[in-house]
Amino acid sequence: MKISPSQASTELREALTAIVGEANISVANLERLSYCRDLNPMANLATNDGRLGPLPDVIVWPHEVDQVVRLVKLAAERRVPLIPFGAGSGVCGGTTPLRGGIILDLKKMKRILALDEKSLAVTAEAGIIGQHLEMELNRQGYTMGHFPSSIYTSTLGGYLAARSAGQLSAKYGKIEDMVLGLEVVLGTGEIMRTPVAPRASLGPDWNQIFVGSEGTLGVITSATCRIRPYPPSREFASFVFPTIEAGIEGMRLLMQNELKPAAVRLYDELDTALVGTGSKQGESSESFFDSLPISQFGNAVKSLVPGLVRRAERFVGQRADLANELQRFATKGCLLVLTFEGEELLTRAEKNLATEICEKAEGVNKGPEPAMRWWKNRYHVSYGQSKVFYHGAFVDTIEMATTWRKIADLYHEIRRAVREKAFIMAHFSHAYHEGCSVYFTFVSAGTDVEKARQTHRQVWDAAVAACHRVGGAMSHHHGIGYTKAPYMHEEHGQAMRIFEALKQEMDPAGILNPGKMGLS
C-alpha cells in the first residue's frame, strides 16, 4: 500500500510543536493511518481492502485549553483544516480528514475538574473516555446515566459533538439533556464559556448550538454535566407482544403515562427470535451473547432452518431477499425489555404500573429474566461486527426517529425500501412521550469492495428517501459526518441557512472539520 506523504510543511510542524511540544505531535505514517478512519463501515471495508485515505497530515495532542486556542488560531491563519477527534468511534466518518490537515486529538485533556456533589454536576475535560468518567463517578457514588454502546471507546467531547444518546436515555436523558455548561474554542480562537446554571434565559442556548455541531463550529474543551446519585435499586421486566404494532402501542402507553423507565427496548419478530424470549434458552451470559443478532446470525439461522448453516454469513449478504424470508419462521412475537432504576420506593412502583399497563396492552409478562439478560450483555452486541467484516460482508446501522403516529409506517417503509439489497432487522429504543427511535441493523455484501460500496450507498439512499417520505429524522443519535452529509439539505430545507450562518460566524476561515454535515 502506498501512503502519500504528509503535506504539513516544516514550518507548520515547527509552529505546532512550539504549541504542544515534541511529545505531542506526530507526522508518522503509522499514526496518520490510525487517524484516517473512524468506525464507519465503509472505512472498515476499505481497511479490508487495504485502501485507506484520505489521511491527515499531522496529529496533535493538546493538554490545555490555551494550547487549543493557539492551535485553532494557527490553523485559521494558515487555512489548514483542523479536525477535533475524540475516540474515533463515530460511525459516519465525522473525523475523516477529507481535506487532510491537522487531527486535534483531545484524549490528553481528560481530567475531571470538579465534582459538585451538592448540585449534582461534574466538570470534565472533553477528551475523557466515557467509561473512565463513569467509573470515577461510580466510585464517588454517582452516575452520569449516559451509556452508549460505545462507552468504552468514545469521549465526553464526542458525545456532545455528535449528539449521542445512551441506552438509559428514557430516564437520564440524552447528552443534550445532561449538559449544563461548556467551554468551547471557536474557529476564531475565542473561548466561549457558558454559565453553569440549572436553567437560564439569556437569549438562545449556546450549549445546544454546540451539541451536535460535530466539530464544525468549535472545539469543545470541557463540559459540566448533570449527574445523579448511583441508583440504589434496579428492577427488570419483560413482555412479549403478539405484533410489532402491539409492542409499539405498549411503549407509547408507558411513556404517555409519564413513566420514566431507564431502558425501553422493543425487538421486532426476527430480532426477538435471535435474542430469545424464553428464560431457559441461554442461561449463561455466554450463550446469550452467542444468540445476539449480528454476532450469531449464523447460529440463529442454524436453529431455525437446518441446512443453511455453513454459508450463513455470506448468504446473508448476497441473497438478502431470501434471508428476509426467514423471518417468517422466526415469528414468535416481539420482546419488550424494561429496566427501572433509582430509589427502591420509586422503581418498584414504576415497575408495577408498567406491568399493569403492558398487560392491559396485550403484553405477556415474561418476568425479569430476559431484561436482566439484556442488561448483562448490553455492550456485547458491538463485538459481533468483526465477524461480519471478517467474512467480507458489511454491517451498518440506521437509527431513525419519528412520532408514534408514524413509527410503524417508518419501520415498514424502511424495511420495504431496503430488503432487496440487505438483510435487515430492527429494534425500537429511546422511547419518548411523542415517539421513539427505530434502530435497524442491516447486513449485506458485494462481490468486491466497490460493489459493496455501491450497495451500501443504495441502501442509505433508499432508507433516507423512505424516511423523508414518511416524515422523520434520518439520524436519531449517530450523527451526520460525511456519509449522511448529502442528505442534510433534504432533511432541513431552508433551515440549513441557520447552520450556514452559525458556521460563517464561528469559523470564518472554514478550517473546522471541513466537508462535513452538508455545510458549504
Binding site for ligand FAD (CB under 6 A): 38-39, 83-91, 94-95, 106, 126, 148-150, 154-155, 157-159, 161-162, 164-165, 214-215, 219-220, 382, 477-479, 513
Cα–Cα distance measured from residue 206 to residue 469, given in angstroms and rounded to the nearest whole number: 32
Judged by CB under 8 A, the chain residues 331 through 360 that form the site for another protein are 342-343, 345-346, 349, 353
Rg (CA), the chain: 23
93 part of the interface to another protein, by CB under 8 A? no
CA 240 to chain centroid, in Å, comes to 27
- Per-residue binder mask for another protein (CB under 8 A), 220-239, x = binder: ------x-xx----------
- 35, 61, 210, 289: residue in contact with another protein (rule CB under 8 A): 210
Rounded (5°) CA angle 353-375-463: 90
CB atoms within 10 A of CB 512: 28
- Of the pair 274, 414, the CB lying nearest another protein is at 414
Nearest to 97 by CA among 18, 164, 4: 4
Look at strands 121-125 and 263-267 and give their pairing.
unpaired
- Of the pair 162, 511, the CB lying nearest ligand FAD is at 162
Cα–Cα distance measured from residue 183 to residue 256, given in angstroms and rounded to the nearest whole number: 36
User: Quick one: three-class SS letters along 165-190?
Assistant: CCCCHHHHCCHHHHEEEEEEEECCCC
Q: How many residues of this chain interact with another protein, rule: CB under 8 A? A: 89
- Per-residue binder mask for another protein (CB under 8 A), 177-206, x = binder: ---x-----x---x-x-xxxxxxxxxxxxx
Q: Three cell numbers at 251?
A: 411503549
Select from ligand FAD, another protein, none the partner in contact with residue 401, using the beta carbon and a kind-dependent cut-off of 5 to 8 Å.
Answer: another protein
392 part of the interface to another protein, by CB under 8 A? no
Give the CA diameter of the chain.
71
430 part of the interface to another protein, by CB under 8 A? yes
217 part of the interface to another protein, by CB under 8 A? yes
In angstroms, give the least distance from the CB of 447 to ligand FAD. 26
Nearest to 296 by CA among 282, 315, 275, 278: 275
- Of the pair 104, 196, the CB lying nearest another protein is at 196
497 part of the interface to another protein, by CB under 8 A? yes
- Of the pair 84, 231, the CB lying nearest ligand FAD is at 84
Contact 217, 504 (CB under 8 A): no
Segment lying near another protein (by CB under 8 A), choices 21-29, 125-133, 266-274, 501-509: 501-509
Select from ligand FAD, another protein, none the partner in contact with residue 436, using the beta carbon and a kind-dependent cut-off of 5 to 8 Å.
Answer: another protein
Cα–Cα distance measured from residue 346 to residue 168, given in angstroms and rounded to the nearest whole number: 16
